[in-house]
Amino acid sequence: LPLTPDGQTPIRVLTIAGTDSGGGAGIQADSRTMAMCGVHACVAVAAVTVQNSVGVSGFHEIPPQIVADQVRSVVGDIGVGAAKTGMLASTAIIEAVAEVCGEVGIGRGQAVPLVVDPVCASMHGDPLLHAEALDAVRHTLIPIASLVTPNLDEVRLITGIDVVDDASARRAAEALHGLGAQWSLVKGGHLRTSTSSTDLLFDGDVFHEFTSPRIDTGNDHGGGDTLAAAIACALANGYPMPDAVAFGKEWVTRCLAASYDLGAGHGPVSPLW
Ligand code: PLP
């Protein structure tokens, strides 16, 4: 993405998500990705996780009003070209985020596009969303998404569809679009049956496929966050959705190839360039 000349105001993107004390995923991955994409990162913290490379051992939710106030404060002064959501933890936070996004012009059909990464659990299976909040993800969060980017576990939880091949991936993309997302992206990266990784993008009309070589690394913590953040950066730069997804996909593939070891578990996807 184009770099901003010294002294000039860069493009800004807002992430509304959870922190990762281990610095691998969540807001840390988002801000690192945005900085590397030449974009100023604004952050509205929705939850604080207790986390390292091995897993998430707990989290603390920020009061919904404070989450919404962070969004209001940033948009009212700094202004953003795109936004993304990550870990939102609860129904109350999802409802507050949807309400404030509507108020400040973020989301589907509004001036500022919104990438919704419907984070439900960590790769270790540790919950990052209360089970009761799945309905709010389906009926409050996804309907305001310009793009929704679930992995296959999230697809199963949200739509009940088990993606095992191209036909089921297409059904899932249609189901997500049916819930109200303007675009849906079904990420095939967790389908372990292939030497490549194919993501399927759908706008209710046309399917776009994005395939990249599978990078075999255990250091894949925060991959979903990195992809969604890079897509948001491209959208803020005015890319049409398919071009933004192609940019994000290439970005996360390069990051996976350059990821590093950290702690006893999974190192982060976003490298230090
Ligand atoms: N922690 C936070 C705050 C996250 O937002 C996410 C993913 O979105 C994770 C952890 C899990 O990342 P991963 O499944 O890549 O380990």
| Segments in 151-201 forming alpha helices (H) | 152-159, 166-178
Judge whether 62 lies within some domain. yes
267 falls within a domain: no
* Residues 6 or more apart whose Cβ sits within 8 Å of residue 38: 1, 2, 3, 4, 10, 11, 233
Q: Is 223 in the pocket of ligand 1 (CB under 6 A)?
A: yes
Report the distance separating Cα 197 and Cα 27, nearest Å: 25
Q: Is residue 54 predicted with pLDDT exceeding 70?
A: yes
Q: What are phi and psi of 238, to 5 degrees?
A: 90, 10
Would you call 263 helix, strand, or coil by DSSP?
coil
Tell whether ligand 1 has an atom less than 6 A from the beta carbon of residue 256: no
User: Quick check: CB of 43 below 6 Å from ligand 1?
Assistant: no
For the domain that residue 87 is a member of, what is the CATH number?
3.40.1190.20
For a substitution probing ligand 1, which of 28, 119, 152, 252 has the most ligand atoms within 8 Å of its CB? Answer: 119
pLDDT of residue 271: 74
Indicate whether 212 belongs to any domain: yes
Q: Print the domain residue range for 151.
A: 12-257
Rounded to two decimals, the pTM is 0.97
Q: Which tokens go with 271?
A: 């490298």
Neighbours of 172 (CB within 10 A): 24
User: What whole-number distance in Å separates Cα of residue 252 and Cα of residue 130?
Assistant: 28
In the reported structure, the alpha carbon of residue 166 is separated from the centroid of ligand 1 by a whole-number distance in angstroms of 26
pLDDT band at residue 135 using 50, 70 and 90 as cut-offs: very high
Residue to substitute in 87, 115, 217, 259 for testing ligand 1 pocket (most ligand atoms within 8 angstroms of CB): 87
Q: What is the ipTM of this complex?
A: 0.93
pLDDT tens-digit map of 138-182: 999 999 999 999 999 999 999 999 999 999 999 999 999 999 999
Give tens-digit pLDDT for 176-218.
999 999 999 999 877 766 788 899 999 999 999 999 988 989 9
- The answer to whether the CB of 10 is under 6 A from ligand 1 is no
Question: What local confidence, expressed as pLDDT, does residue 193 receive?
Answer: 67
- Decide: 22 in ligand 1 pocket, CB within 6 A: no
Task: Please state the domain count of the chain.
Answer: 1
